[in-house]
Amino acid sequence: MDVQAHDAGPGGARPSAPTAVLIATCVSTLVVNANTSAVSILLPAISADTGTSLDVLQWAVTGYSLVGAAVIVTSGALGDVFGRRLVFLGGLALFIASCVLIALSDSGGGVIAGRAIQGAAGATILACGMSLLSVSTSGEGQVRAVTLWGGASAVGAAAGPLLGGLLVDGTGWQGLFWIDAAIALACVPVTLKGVAESRDPDRGRSIDFAGTVLIAGVLAPALLALSEGATWGWTSAAVLGCFALALVSCVAFVAVERRVEAPLVDLRLLKDRVLIGATVGILLSAGVINGLMYLVSLYFQNPATLALSPFEAGLAPHLPRYQRSMANYARLLVEPGESAD
- At 321 the pLDDT is 56
CA separation for the pair 40, 293 (Å, rounded): 7
pLDDT in tens, 203-261: 666 777 888 888 888 888 888 888 788 788 999 999 999 999 999 999 998 898 888 87
- At 222 the pLDDT is 87
Please provide the average confidence, as pLDDT, over all residues in the chain: 80
Q: What DSSP element (H or E) covers 204?
A: none
Residues near 338 by beta carbon (within 8 Å), at least 6 away in sequence: 328, 331, 332
99: pLDDT strictly greater than 60 = yes
- Higher confidence at residue 117 or residue 280? 117
Mean pLDDT for 260-280 is 73
- The backbone region for 196, taken as left when phi is positive above 0, alpha when psi lies in -120 to 50, beta otherwise, is beta
275: pLDDT strictly greater than 80 = no
- Higher confidence at residue 27 or residue 229? 27
- At 200 the pLDDT is 77
Closest CA relative to residue 180, chosen from 22, 32, 8, 40: 32
CA separation for the pair 41, 122 (Å, rounded): 19
Lowest mean pLDDT among 39-43, 132-136, 202-206, 228-232: 202-206
pLDDT in tens, 278-315: 767 766 766 666 666 666 777 777 777 767 777 777 77
- At 112 the pLDDT is 93
CA separation for the pair 134, 146 (Å, rounded): 8
- Higher confidence at residue 38 or residue 317? 38
DSSP 205: S
What distances in angstroms separate CA 136 from CA 6, 8, 81, one per listed residue? 8, 11, 17
